[in-house]
A and B are shown apart, each in its own frame.
Chain A
Amino acid sequence: MRQPDLVADVDGILITEDQIRTRVAELGSQITADNAGKSLTLVSVLKGSLPFMADLMRAIEIPVRIDLMEVSSYGGTATESSGLVRILKDLSSPIDERDVLIVEDIIDTGLTLNYLIRYLRGKNPSSLRICTLLDKPARRLVEIPIDYRGFTIPDQFVVGYGLDYGEHYRNLPFIGVLRPEVYTAT
């Protein structure tokens, strides 16, 4: 892969840092209001949702626990031999009889999240809800009931605020559209 250029490789900013900050605060308020008197377990799916998780948890004003999961992605060399999705990092604590909120960076096809929902339901949480920063419905294959949605975005390849291409661009503070030349050149 060519050396990434964090400025030149981005075609434009789709969602600014300010817009993200405002929307995350709104989501936090909504989640707080909907779950008043309860405590939540936030489950973040590595790696892309880390910045969103870090900001969202601080915008929620009820008690929360956090946990992290990582799921292999199709095409990853480490998993091709098995041909099946794998849990690379499982929950650290049980979630049975807990109210769980999955925190995702983006939902497009819904394939990974569909797998994760089935997996977590098997752990008998009291409730299981979904919060995603970005929703790209044009790519949806599996319908996912989204409880909290930050932004609905067009069918473009986006990076930044945790989202990567080839493990780069995650540290951009905004959501930007990657220039097609970047991925056609690799």
Chain B
Amino acid sequence: MKGPSFAHASEAEFARILDYYGIGWDYEPRAFPILWNLDGKVVESFAPDFYLPELDIYVELTTLRQSLVRKKNRKLRRLRELYPSIRIKLFYARDFRALMLKYGRIGLADSLSGAEGQATPPRDPPSAIVRPRVVGDPAPGAPPPALPGGELTTAPPGRRARRRRGADVEAAT
């Protein structure tokens, strides 16, 4: 059976480690909405790389350079705020490197870190990489939502921040 097309070579390596130790995994099985516009449409979501069903934990790998990690950290913070019951473990580049060191594959870690790791060709054409549909996304075939303007909210619909005249944004309950 053909496996998923991993976005990064480090993810493929991580999947091989999980397979080796008999840990079941799903690749990007769910996207969590983390930002909505004022119409309630999802404008940003976060799809952790792996879900380990037996352990009920999501794992996100990031072997990117530190400057690019900040964005991911922000997403992760939002995810934890909005979905406190979700268990997620973030593997930074240094964590992945330590994992490879433990398994005597430090050279591989160096070759997989940063942008170089993106160079590994996927097993399927890039167009075959399908990100999971998130709650609030338009149905397949529907026109894409309008790009958000200046008004965005990190509160889910129902607890959406609303702007009042002469007042700061507040959470409506």
Chain A residues in contact with chain B, CB under 8 A?
A: 73-76, 79, 83-85, 108-109, 111-112, 114-115, 118, 139, 141-143, 155, 157, 166, 183-184, 186
Contact = CB atoms under 8 A, between A and B. Distances in A.
Contacts of A76: 104
B128 interface: no
B147 interface: no
A111 B19 CA distance: 11
19 contacts: A73-B103, A74-B16, A74-B103, A75-B103, A75-B104, A75-B105, A79-B20, A84-B20, A108-B102, A109-B99, A111-B21, A114-B21, A118-B22, A139-B95, A139-B99, A142-B55, A166-B104, A183-B106, A184-B106
Contacts of A83: 16, 19-20
Interface string B40-62: 00000000000000010101000
Contacts of A108: 102
Interface centre among B23, B55, B95, B102 (most CB of A within 10 A): B102
Interface of B: 16-17, 19-23, 55, 57, 59, 89, 95, 98-99, 101-106
Contacts of A155: 98
A139 B102 CA distance: 11
Contacts of B19: 83-84
A75 B100 CA distance: 9
Nearest to B14: A141
B98 A85 contact: no
A157 B142 CA distance: 52
A163 B60 CA distance: 29
A141 B22 contact: no
Contacts of A111: 17, 21, 23
Interface centre among A73, A111, A112, A115 (most CB of B within 10 A): A111
Contact of A141 (B59, B101, B104, B106): B59
Contacts of B106: 183-184, 186
A85 B21 contact: yes
Nearest to A142: B55
A115 B101 CA distance: 20
Please provide the 10 A-B residue pairs with the shortest distance between their CB atoms, ordered closest to farther.
A75-B103, A111-B21, A74-B20, A74-B103, A75-B104, A75-B105, A115-B21, A74-B17, A85-B21, A85-B20
Contact of A143 (B17, B22, B55): B55
A167 to B, nearest CB: 10
A118 B95 CA distance: 26
A170 to B, nearest CB: 15
Contacts of B23: 111, 114, 142
A165 to B, nearest CB: 8
A112 B101 contact: no
Interface centre among B16, B19, B21, B99 (most CB of A within 10 A): B21
A123 B71 CA distance: 47
